């Protein structure tokens, strides 16, 4: 906020030039609705409705929980037709945004169905019966139970992976889907052949479990995609569905917001949301603009003041002349910024991508060489087929497919236990590379609400005595300043004196009678009305408070000013420690705020922040992030307001405090549930530990193939070392167990000691 008024009834800005005014001109009116649906790493948009099987809806070269959607199906299904959106476009425009529930439900249903079908496959597997020493009940046709159920699993659960391998092959970039498809196909075909060649040698069970694991991974992926796609919808929800329009005869009518036109006169009742940008022509009130500006103070509105669509009116009625609707509103401008920031996000390459591609070529080459070499050496026969199948199965990406997702799942759970929710599964990996953190001041480093931060009294008066009297006088007021005074008195457990004859003095303060004495409370305009000047005992306090951009109100008993109170946005108790620890980690901390330079300087000095940006308009917050990124910095943004959403999305990592607005949370990669800035430090500790586990698992998942593939190819056959496809499947399963156990060790990370 660029100017701080000390007027007792408001302590707020008049905002003749509203900070969100220029947002409507930020992009062409049709920008928000002519765009292609964002395919951004946080929530790429693939259509759930294209088909039950998302043939080209994914680029799965990265494994079970790969990050991005391929352009094919996304472009075919995600281009939501936004044409024809009218004045209510801000509310309705994004109703058509792609919902990933369809894919999520498909993978979930197939996983549970295949898991149930896997039980009889395991139970009637000759190999498992031999290993575990049990015999399944036998009856006519029982030997066909495992093949029959495995066939159903292959068709119902495996075919989607075969179809998703198609885009990889057409793009000449075979990866995880191709390797999975090759492995389950070889396992399936070999097991069918083994029914006649070697009935005890098939491994339908391995194929079934592989399909189950992959279906589970894709189900989790679709769920995270769906959860990541709600930012624009949350913004749109700020707009009311209806508006109260005033007719020429003075009567009112309720009309859909979409029918409003520039020049319409609207009645905004107390507590109602403003349906369009406009100018107040009659009435006085204060409007809560926190959901738009991110700032804590409700803003006083009077004739000629501007109001913004999506904000909430206070306790007065306003008559507003509409000046902007639909795409021209400030809210629509913010929505465009969010959407543009999402679209500009680069795709992050999962570490497993390249490993899967390399493994595919290595496995395929090894299988071909094995087949040719043993055919030349011994002639083509069953043993050659077994060795080829063993090579392909032993290279099956169970461990590789789980190497990264298992670590991410455990680290996400560990983070949640420590008050951190990770929405973007790659955010933790990227956090270790962050060198600059931008904190939005209000609601992030501060509590986002006014509080008493200083009290000065004249001789003979104590702070508690003055605060109790002020709270008593403000007892009947619902004004934000009154609430702050009462809250401060409550925190000190003060007993309040009895008050009579309370009355509000419009625009100046309040008056009441206490023990037959008249008591006033208010700001500078109250002192003007009473023709009083602050005594020297309070003068220095007032000067220092105003220099820091703090609001000052005065307590007057009779004709004497007995105390002054400084009010400001209260700094969170954990903020200073969080800033210090981040700086000790070598991370530069930057503060960003729409408040005046005086307010920003005071907060920065108190927290030990060397660099800050004050009086930053909402659209410029996004630009500040982009400027720092242009300097080659890896930037994290911590914020909570709607106007923070574009910056949260633009940053390499967006971190939202949980007490913030829903849209800020939806736009972030990581959410601090407890709104504790110290949790930001935990993010970096967890990020480094998570990355180490990922690297360890990837090395194991690919490294064991360096030994296992040659063994499967039979290079030690002359020494009597031969691996059957079954043993290959067992080794592959063991590698998966090792990866899982190593990932579980991450749970021992002592995050509670970080802060």
* Residue 313 parent element (H or E): strand 312-313
The SS3 assignment for 457 reads strand
Structure tokens at 316: 């007065």
Please state, in angstroms and rounded to a whole number, the distance separating the CA atoms of residues 438 and 189: 56
Q: What is the 3-state secondary structure (H, E, C) of 712-733?
A: HHCCCHHHCCCCCHHHHHHHHH
Name which of 413, 61, 35, 48 is nearest 225 in CA terms. Answer: 48
DSSP 533: -
Which of 300, 339, 424, 440 is an active site residue?
440
Distance CA 463, CA 425 (A): 50
Q: Please enumerate in sequence order all residues whose Cβ is within 8 A of that of 449, keeping only pairs 6 or more positions apart, or say none.
A: 296, 480, 484, 569, 570
DSSP 660-720: S-HHHHHH-SEEETT--THHHHHHHHHHHHHHHHHHHHHHHHHHHHHHHHHHHHTTTGGGT
> Token pair 């209000």 is at which residue?
442
Q: Which residues make Cβ contacts (< 8 Å) with residue 357, sequence separation at least 6?
A: 61, 173, 174, 175
Collect contacts of 513-518 with beta carbons under 8 A, ≥24 apart.
514/469, 514/472, 514/473, 517/557, 517/558, 518/557, 518/558
Are the C-beta atoms of 62 and 658 separated by less than 8 Å? Answer: no
Which residue, 293, 311, 560, is CA-closest to 301?
A: 311
d(Cα 224, Cα 261) in Å, to the nearest integer? 39
- Find out whether 481 and 6 touch, Cβ atoms under 8 Å: no
Short-list 429, 422, 46, CA closest to 222: 46
Neighbours of 500 (CB within 10 A): 9
Contacts (Cβ under 8 Å, ≥6 apart) of 555: 466, 469, 470, 473, 519, 520, 521, 561, 562, 563, 564, 565
Active site (annotated) includes residue 440: yes
Nearest to 100 by CA among 217, 224, 231: 224
Query: Which residues participate in catalysis according to the annotation?
Result: 440
């Amino acid at each position: 906020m660029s100017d701080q008024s000390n007027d007792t009834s408001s302590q707020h800005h008049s905002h003749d030039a509203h900070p969100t005014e220029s947002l409507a001109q930020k992009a062409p009116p049709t920008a928000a609705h002519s765009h292609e649906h964002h395919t951004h790493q946080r929530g790429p948009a693939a259509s759930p409705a294209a088909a039950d099987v998302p043939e080209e809806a994914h680029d799965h070269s990265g494994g079970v929980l790969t990050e991005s959607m391929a352009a094919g199906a996304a472009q075919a299904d995600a281009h939501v037709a936004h044409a024809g959106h009218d004045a209510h476009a801000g509310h309705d425009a994004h109703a058509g945004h792609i919902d990933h529930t369809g894919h999520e439900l498909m993978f979930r249903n197939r996983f549970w169905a295949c898991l149930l079908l896997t039980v009889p496959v395991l139970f009637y597997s000759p190999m498992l019966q031999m290993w575990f020493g049990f015999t399944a009940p036998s009856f006519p046709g029982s030997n066909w139970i495992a093949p029959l159920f495995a066939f159903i699993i292959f068709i119902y659960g495996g075919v989607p992976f075969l179809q998703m391998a198609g885009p990889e092959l057409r793009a000449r970039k075979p990866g995880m889907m191709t390797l999975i498809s090759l492995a389950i196909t070889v396992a399936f075909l070999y097991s069918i052949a083994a029914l006649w060649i070697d009935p005890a040698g098939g491994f339908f069970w391995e194929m079934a479990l592989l399909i189950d694991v992959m279906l589970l991974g894709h189900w989790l992926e679709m769920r995270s995609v769906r959860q990541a796609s709600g930012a624009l919808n949350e913004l749109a929800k700020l707009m009311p569905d209806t508006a109260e329009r005033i007719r020429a005869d003075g009567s009112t009518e309720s009309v859909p917001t979409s029918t409003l036109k520039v020049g319409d006169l609207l009645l905004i009742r107390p507590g109602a949301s403003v349906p369009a940008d406009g100018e107040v022509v009659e009435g006085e009130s204060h409007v809560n603009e926190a959901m738009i500006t991110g700032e804590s103070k409700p803003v006083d509105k009077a004739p000629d003041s501007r109001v913004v669509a999506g904000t909430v009116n206070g306790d007065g009625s306003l008559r507003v002349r509409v000046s902007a609707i639909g795409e021209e509103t400030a809210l629509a401008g913010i929505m465009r910024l969010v959407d543009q920031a999402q679209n500009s996000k680069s795709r992050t390459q999962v570490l497993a991508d390249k490993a899967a591609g390399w493994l595919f070529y290595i496995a395929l080459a090894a299988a071909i060489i094995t087949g040719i070499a043993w055919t030349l050496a011994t002639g083509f026969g069953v043993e050659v087929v077994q060795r080829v199948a063993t090579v392909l199965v032993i290279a099956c990406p169970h461990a590789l497919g789980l190497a990264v997702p298992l670590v991410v799942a455990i680290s996400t759970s560990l983070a949640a236990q420590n008050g951190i929710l990770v929405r973007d599964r790659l955010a933790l990996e990227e956090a270790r590379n962050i060198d600059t953190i931008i904190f939005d001041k209000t609601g992030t480093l501060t509590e986002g609400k006014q509080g008493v931060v200083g009290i000065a009294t004249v001789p003979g008066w104590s702070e508690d005595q003055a605060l109790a009297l002020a709270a008593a006088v403000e007892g009947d007021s619902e004004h934000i300043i009154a609430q702050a005074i009462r809250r401060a008195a409550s925190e000190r457990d003060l007993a309040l004196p009895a008050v009579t004859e309370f009355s509000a003095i419009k625009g100046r303060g309040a008056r009441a009678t206490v023990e037959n004495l008249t008591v006033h409370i208010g700001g500078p305009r109250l002192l003007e009305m009473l023709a009083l000047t602050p005594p020297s005992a309070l003068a220095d306090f007032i000067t220092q408070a105003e220099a820091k951009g703090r609001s000052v109100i005065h307590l007057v008993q009779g004709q004497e000013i007995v105390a002054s109170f400084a009010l400001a946005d209260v700094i969170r108790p954990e903020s200073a420690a969080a800033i210090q620890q981040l700086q000790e980690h070598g991370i530069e901390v930057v503060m960003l705020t729409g408040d005046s330079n005086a307010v920003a300087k005071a907060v920065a000095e108190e927290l030990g922040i060397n660099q800050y940006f004050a009086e930053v308009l909402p659209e410029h917050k996004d630009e500040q992030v982009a400027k720092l990124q242009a300097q080659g910095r890896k930037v994290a943004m911590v914020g909570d307001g709607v106007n923070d959403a574009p910056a949260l999305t633009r940053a390499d990592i967006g971190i939202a405090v949980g007490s913030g607005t829903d849209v800020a949370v939806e736009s972030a990669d990581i959410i601090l549930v407890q709104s504790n800035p110290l949790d930001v430090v935990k993010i970096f500790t967890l990020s480094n530990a998570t990355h180490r586990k990922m690297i360890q698992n990837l090395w194991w998942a690919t490294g064991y193939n360096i030994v296992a593939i040659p063994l499967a190819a039979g290079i030690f056959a002359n020494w009597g070392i031969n691996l059957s496809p079954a043993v290959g499947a067992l080794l592959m399963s063991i590698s998966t167990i090792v990866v899982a156990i190593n990932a579980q060790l991450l749970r021992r990370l002592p995050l509670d000691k970080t802060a």
